Amino acid sequence: MEPKTKVHAEAGKQELVITREFDLPLELVFKAHVEPDLVEQWMGTKVLKLEPKKHGSWQFETTDPIGNKHGFNGVFHEFVPNRKITRTFEMESAPFGAQLEFLAFDELSPTTSQLTMHVIYRSVGIRDQVLQLPFAKGINMAHNRLQDTVNKLITNSL
Amino acid sequence: MNLRRDVFQAIADPTRRAILLLVASQAMTAGAIAANFDTARPTVSKHLHILTECELLRQEQAGREIYYHLNPKKMKEIADFIEPFRQMWDDRFNKLEAIMKNYQANQ
């Protein structure tokens, strides 16, 4: 079966495209990007600020499994209801700087829709690092688990 | 032999990607890895052989058992390893879909 979410990232380019078809009317997919309580639910983040308009800004804060807080922020350059969002996105705890995101919302039928996210990074190197983050996180988590085990062994032997 | 191309061939297979993700969280024996798949044990062994041959996994003997470890150095060489990234967005969008279906039902 074809995956519902696709990521297109060509080698040597500083951009990528994420596409997703939703079994939802267009208005509901857009609403999920506007209402803070809905954003909090699907993004798994706390919404500190979300001004859904041109020149508005946004600020999220997530807490990782170890309890560390991570900030994310950006500004909206375009906000056209049910059509498109152009925004910047920056991870405060990473050295990548801002990335530019173009979100296009398209109706496929009255009950289905498609979201296309075109993301542009400052360099090819930064894009590749961001792409590998979820995998790197998996490796770090393995290290953290190892650290926990070692700490326990030390504590038990004292 | 073009080792780099082999690495990409190695990760082109969904079962092998799943094995890498499993082993990323902890070193495992072949038996423990195979227990996570419906695939026949010899098929999993073949995948482990390929992953070890291109150095994405390394074997370590611990007593009578052989444990498979992820080789993070080799993993870093793969610039196009986008599956976990795709999975992360897929999980988010699946949640979005579920939440909005619920929202729609409550209107």
A141 touches chain B (CB under 8 A): yes
A5-124 homologous superfamily: START domain (3.30.530.20)
pLDDT score of A94: 85
The model's pLDDT over B51-105, given as tens digits with 9 standing for 90+, comes to: 998 888 999 999 999 999 988 777 666 544 677 788 889 999 999 999 999 999 9
Residue A1, judged by CB atoms within 10 A of its CB (0-12, 13-18, 19+), counts as exposed
Element (H, E) at B6: helix B3-11
Tokens 């979100």 belong to A103
pTM for the model: 0.65
Chain A residues lying within 8 Å of B80, measured CB to CB: 9, 11, 131
Alpha helices in A32-123 (DSSP H): 36-43
ipTM for the predicted complex comes to 0.82
The model's pLDDT over A39-79, given as tens digits with 9 standing for 90+, comes to: 999 998 999 999 999 999 999 999 887 888 999 999 999 99
To the nearest whole percent, how much of chain A has pLDDT over 70?
A: 84
Residues of chain A under the 70 pLDDT cut: 1-2, 135-158
pLDDT score of A71: 95
The model's pLDDT over B8-48, given as tens digits with 9 standing for 90+, comes to: 667 767 788 788 888 877 899 999 999 998 888 899 999 99
- CB-nearest to B80 from A11, A25, A28 is A11
- Structural domains in chain B plus CATH codes: 3-78 (1.10.10.10)
- Separation CA B45–CA A158 (nearest Å): 42
Chain B residues lying within 8 Å of A22, measured CB to CB: 93, 96-97, 100
CA distances from B63 to A8, A19, A41, A70, B66 (A): 44, 48, 46, 42, 8
pLDDT score of A23: 94
Chain A residues lying within 8 Å of B103, measured CB to CB: 28, 31, 38
| B89 and A18 Cβ atoms separated by less than 8 Å | yes
Mean pLDDT of chain A: 86
